[in-house]
Structure 1
Amino acid sequence: MILVTGLSGFTGRHLAERLRARGARVVGLSNSGQGEGEIACDLTDAVAVRNVIAELRPTHVAHLVAISFVGHGNPRAFYDVNLFGTLNLLEALAALPKPPRKILITSSANIYGSPSVEVIDESVCPAPVNHYACSKLAMEHMVHTWFDRLPIVMVRPFNYTGVGQDEKFLIPKIVSHFRRRAPFIELGNLDVSRDFSDVRDVAGIYAALLLDVVGGEGETYNVCSGRAYSLR
């Protein structure tokens, strides 16, 4: 059984589709528990997380839950969910009689900030510039302390988009304004280039790392297309 935190979210839905197509049984966690195959569980509640994990005993875990919108209005929430929520999950998984065979933890390429190098690989020193990125980098450092106890692989996805993404993100926002024939649109800094992937490709990579790739534990991988697009 594969546990996907954030199953009903943008990425979770696409990952679940990939996994179920391969015959996997997929169960998710969310605050509401109202989505298909979901169980209600607040990741910031350590006791609740431990109880649910003890009952489920997953063989694989994809941890996708995060507050990911950089403009989120409550800075503390980034750390409560992205850092301490992840800690609660890892503690619960480590307490199982038999740990999962593979745990995928999603970080973010946002941790790199705005480096001056042309190619951003995993060796580039992180330089986060917002609370979202800081919380993800703090999470990474915390996760490293579990590498000797749990079979963890970590990913740093760059930007990706697709059907179902919230309109507060760049591509859906532009599409929505175009569809509504809005007379104007407010955007941020356009004098940058960004790597954009299709969420279906990202979900495929996550599924492969969980089920196909032998080893990889203790490693961190960038997930991207390798092509930059100018926002202008």
Structure 2
Amino acid sequence: MTWLITGGAGYIGAHVARAMAGAGESVVALDDLSAAVPERLPPGVPLVVGSTLDGALLERVFKEYGVTGVVHLAARKQVAESVAEPIRYYRENVGGLATLLDAVAGAGIRRLLFSSSAAVYGNPDVDLITEETLCAPVNPYGETKLAGEWLVRAAGRAHGISTVCLRYFNVAGAAAPELADTGVFNIVPMVFDRLTRDEAPRIFGADYPTPDGTCVRDYIHVADLAEAHLAAARRLAEGDLSGDLTLNIGRGAGVSVRELITVVGEVTGDRREPVVEGRRPGDAPRAVASAERAAEQLGWRASRGVREMVESAWRGWQLHHDR
């Protein structure tokens, strides 16, 4: 097997490339470098600069590197940006996937792993979200991920491609400081950014029907997420998977925003009280995965806790911000 990882120099993609290459898999990365750090890639992993919207490039990469499987992570992923620029999100996330699948089918590639998201569920009123929970996304980003799943499954049926869709919950942490998230879009780097600027962390809404009034989320270490990709890729490579497999990727444990900020304060030594602001539109009170199907199908479970996520993310933040 030779795996093409689209978005392979991004925060999650580089972790996946490292996990797969470290386990002896042959890997090549494709990235348009819009949100990437090429130096994240491990030695020996080639980087092709380009977009999944470029079908001719994909065909050349498949042929040049003898690609036999694809891990598709390349996508735009900011909720607020998707609301402001829905056409761009559909063009890049769904259009890019359509172009990729066309090239995959044309090249006779029969294994594809798709990076999906818990955003496909929207705001379900359940204690644990299972893979059977109704999908009702509440923003264009989530819509593009759900449409992507539909397209992956339809192409799989039409062209005999075995597919896995992994629905990520809230990703945090870093396997090494140099691999850390350099963006300020997810909650952990957002809190770090506030503290670095000598400002108190912000909580958006403290009147939810949860134990401490703040939203509850399922946080997963990015290294655990990368290991889930390795397990899924190997399941595909074994050839015993026909059709589609859709899995939640989380810890199955809820942590409130206030609890998370408390851990950040303990790790950084900056324990200032957060500022409570109004709710953000679309935030669900609780979003926690049922992770049992991933354990059953992949023999994989997340092993790293929230404190390890925050500690590893803080080391990366300090590296990238000269702290």
TM-score, length basis structure 2: 0.66
Structure 2 partner of 1:143: 152
Distance in 2 between residues matched to 1:55 and 1:145, nearest whole Å: 27
Structure 2 partner of 1:123: 132
User: How far apart are residue 181 of structure 1 and its match?
Assistant: 5.3
Distance in 2 between residues matched to 1:121 and 1:26, nearest whole Å: 31
* Cα-to-partner distance string for 1:170-212 (whole Å, 9 max, x where unaligned): 111112323x152234454453210000000000010011014
Moved more, 212-221 or 76-85: 212-221
Structure 2 partner of 1:174: 191
Match status 1:67 vs 2:64: no
Contact 1:54 1:92 in 2 (8 A): no
> Would the alpha carbon gap of residues 204 and 34 (structure 1) be closer, same or farther in structure 2, given more than 3 Å must change?
closer
Contact 2:191 2:202 in 1 (8 A): no
- Of all paired residues, the percent bearing the same amino acid is 29
User: How far apart are residue 18 of structure 1 and its match?
Assistant: 0.9
Contact 1:112 1:126 in 2 (8 A): yes
User: How far apart are residue 147 of structure 1 and its match?
Assistant: 2.0
Which is helix-richer, 1 or 2? Answer: 2
Match status 1:26 vs 2:27: yes
Contact 1:50 1:88 in 2 (8 A): no
Moved more, 184-193 or 64-73: 184-193
Distance in 1 between residues matched to 2:252 and 2:86, nearest whole Å: 31
Aligned residues: 229
TM-score, length basis structure 1: 0.90
Structure 2 partner of 1:199: 222
Match status 1:155 vs 2:166: yes
Moved more, 11-20 or 31-40: 31-40
Contact 1:153 1:218 in 2 (8 A): yes
Distance in 2 between residues matched to 1:42 and 1:181, nearest whole Å: 35
User: How far apart are residue 34 of structure 1 and its match?
Assistant: 8.1
Contact 1:144 1:218 in 2 (8 A): yes
Contact 1:12 1:64 in 2 (8 A): yes
- Computing the radius of gyration over CA atoms, which structure comes out larger, 1 or 2? 2
Structure 2 partner of 1:10: 11
User: How far apart are residue 138 of structure 1 and its match?
Assistant: 1.2
Structure 1 partner of 2:274: none
Structure 1 partner of 2:102: 91
Structure 2 partner of 1:56: 65
> Would the alpha carbon gap of residues 188 and 67 (structure 1) be closer, same or farther in structure 2, given more than 3 Å must change?
farther
SS in 2 for 1:147: helix
Match status 1:183 vs 2:206: no
Unaligned runs of 5+ in 2: 175-179, 207-213, 259-323
> Would the alpha carbon gap of residues 230 and 34 (structure 1) be closer, same or farther in structure 2, given more than 3 Å must change?
closer
Distance in 2 between residues matched to 1:64 and 1:173, nearest whole Å: 22
Distance in 2 between residues matched to 1:152 and 1:84, nearest whole Å: 18
- The one-letter amino acid paired with 2:188 is I
Contact 1:29 1:40 in 2 (8 A): yes
Match status 1:224 vs 2:214: no
> Would the alpha carbon gap of residues 129 and 58 (structure 1) be closer, same or farther in structure 2, given more than 3 Å must change?
same
